[in-house]
Structure 1
Amino acid sequence: MSTYGVTFVREGDHVRLKVSTWDRKNKHGKFDHRVVGKLYLQPDPGS
């Protein structure tokens, strides 16, 4: 089973969307956090 998280971070005039998952166990038996995707959102110039 995988657990996913979504983070929105405002950076100046755009927003960064980051998708993370905890789906792999490390050698200590704990789940590792890894980023699986990033997307930069910009404001609509018409608004």
Structure 2
Amino acid sequence: KKSEGIYAVVNFTASPETAAELDRVLNLNESVMRTKIIRPEDQKVNK
């Protein structure tokens, strides 16, 4: 189990499909241990 790491907070604008693809690609990278993509509650989804 890893006890140390580098954390990053990134704010970006993307469609739900693009955010899902970003999450998928990050999880394929062996250097990335965990991801979490969240949408702020005050944001609306534009389709």
TM over 0.5: no
The structure with the larger Rg is: 1
TM-score by length of 1: 0.30
**Of Structure 1 and Structure 2, which has the larger fraction of its residues in strand?**
1
TM-score when scaled to structure 2? 0.30
